Amino acid sequence: MMSKLFSVQKGLRVFLLILAVVSVLSLTVSAVAESSRNKKIQSDRNKIREGFETILEELEFNGLNDSTLELVQEYRKLVGENSNLIISDDTGYVLYHVNNGFMPGTDQFIVITDPDSHYSNMAYILDPELSVRYRISLNRTYNSMKLIEYSNTYKDNVNLYDVIRRDEAYYGHSGDTVDKTMYYAYIGSKGWNVYSIQKNINYSDYEYNNWHLAVNSIGVMAFILFWLALPVWVFLDAKKRNHNPALWGILTAITNIIGLIIYILTRPENPACKTCGEPLTTKHIYCPYCGAENKQMCHSCRTILEKNWLACPTCGQKIESERPEALVIVDGLENNP
Ligand SMILES: [Zn+2]
Ligand SMILES: [Zn+2]
């Protein structure tokens, strides 16, 4: 029965080693992939910021010409085709806009702040001076927009930027209005206002690849299995050594590797045969089950000694050599008259 336990424990040790290697490798690979994903998000955010700044420079030095509009098209590829971009002069006259427009029959201008959202989103109705007059809530279904709320009349000239920032602080927790980024700049040399409102770059836009997810799950599963199997191994090992198996099993189940290290450092010598795993008493030199040599004998007082002891604790005799062949030769000489 003991030898069966021994081979189960041996198999479990191999299993644990494989699990540890698999979990460390998989989690490392997935951490590297995660970090390169973060770098990509950061670099895309920077590209948008730089794209906006390039447009500003072009506007400042060359005004609104074909090359500026080309840059705007490049920029819209970065931020999404439904992004807002409005350029107005100091009097509020709109010089250029994409994706939002004057409302028919009025001189009001509408700005949708989260154009890519498939759900409800905020929009602002601006007067010809680009001051905010109303905030509206739109429900986007089947490519059409339905007005679901018409609120907040702004009587004084409120800047779009200020209103959106204030709303973001107020509605930010709802997640719907915070899901956008707004850039605003005033070009002093021309007296122009430039607004850019686009969907925020979110982590959810950057999906894990399938292989990345799989590797991550394998790593997590291997780690969980390792955590569950380790206490079993410690339990079996402690049982073999008659050393509080339940206590050490529970301790390792809670603290895992820390428990294992403490156990390995404090566990008593294994009394079982190192070859076949059957239990031995301290009186045995040779295993009665397989014949393997497990201990040695002091030549002067015949005390049974552990194989790695260098001196006899009974008579103080120094052990010449740990090698069993040498002991056999010395024994042979002593027994010869
Ligand atoms: Zn044996
Ligand atoms: Zn001795």
> For position 329, what pLDDT does the model report?
46
> For position 305, what pLDDT does the model report?
87
Concatenated DSSP letters of 194-258: EEEEEEPP-GGGSPPPHHHHHHHHHHHHHHHHHHHHHHHHHHHHHHHTTS-HHHHHHHHHHHTHH
Does residue 197 register a pLDDT over 60?
A: yes
Summarize the confidence of residues 49-61 as an average pLDDT: 92
Q: How far is the CA of 271 from the centre of ligand 1 (A)?
A: 11
Tens-digit pLDDT profile for residues 19-34 = 999 999 999 999 998 8
Tens-digit pLDDT profile for residues 301-317 = 988 888 888 899 999 88
Half-sphere exposure of 144 (CA within 13 A, CB side): 4
Taking a 5 Å cut-off on Cβ, the residues next to ion ligand 2 are 298, 301, 303, 312, 314-315, 317
Q: How far is the CA of 317 from the centre of ligand 2 (A)?
A: 5
Q: How far is the CA of 273 from the centre of ligand 1 (A)?
A: 5
* Closest ligand by atom to 271 CA: 1
C-alpha–C-alpha distance, residues 37 and 59, integer Å? 33
175 to each of 223, 242, 311, how far by Cα in Å?
Answer: 34, 59, 75
Concatenated DSSP letters of 30-82: HHHHHHHHHHHHHHHHHHHHHHHHHHHHHHHHH-SSHHHHHHHHHHHHHH-TT
Q: How far is the CA of 117 from the centre of ligand 2 (A)?
A: 87
For the chain, give every domain's residue range: 2-29+213-266, 85-198, 277-337
Q: How far is the CA of 272 from the centre of ligand 2 (A)?
A: 23
At 37, list the tokens.
């994903």
Least-confidence region, from 46-50, 158-162, 170-174, 299-303? 170-174
Q: How far is the CA of 336 from the centre of ligand 2 (A)?
A: 20
* Closest ligand by atom to 319 CA: 2
At 308, list the tokens.
């790695």
Phi and psi (nearest 5°) for 281? Answer: -95, 165
- DSSP helix/strand/coil, 321: coil
Tens-digit pLDDT profile for residues 210-255 = 788 889 999 999 999 999 999 999 999 998 888 899 999 999 999 9
Q: How far is the CA of 276 from the centre of ligand 2 (A)?
A: 28
Closest CA to 128 of 157, 152, 98, 149: 157
Residues 6+ apart with CB under 8 A from 153: 133, 134
∠ CA 22-25-26, nearest 5°, is: 80
Q: How far is the CA of 23 from the centre of ligand 1 (A)?
A: 35
Q: How far is the CA of 319 from the centre of ligand 2 (A)?
A: 9
Phi and psi (nearest 5°) for 188? Answer: -60, -40
Q: How far is the CA of 312 from the centre of ligand 2 (A)?
A: 5
Q: How far is the CA of 292 from the centre of ligand 2 (A)?
A: 22
Q: How far is the CA of 287 from the centre of ligand 1 (A)?
A: 4
Q: What percent of the chain has pLDDT over 70?
A: 71
Say if residues 92 and 107 touch (Cβ distance below 8 Å).
no
* Closest ligand by atom to 292 CA: 1
More confident call, 310 vs 84: 310
Phi and psi (nearest 5°) for 260? Answer: -60, -45
Q: How far is the CA of 302 from the centre of ligand 2 (A)?
A: 6
Tens-digit pLDDT profile for residues 260-270 = 999 999 988 77
C-alpha–C-alpha distance, residues 327 and 286, integer Å? 14
Does residue 273 register a pLDDT over 90?
A: no
Q: How far is the CA of 247 from the centre of ligand 1 (A)?
A: 28
Q: How far is the CA of 320 from the centre of ligand 1 (A)?
A: 25
C-alpha–C-alpha distance, residues 143 and 157, integer Å? 32
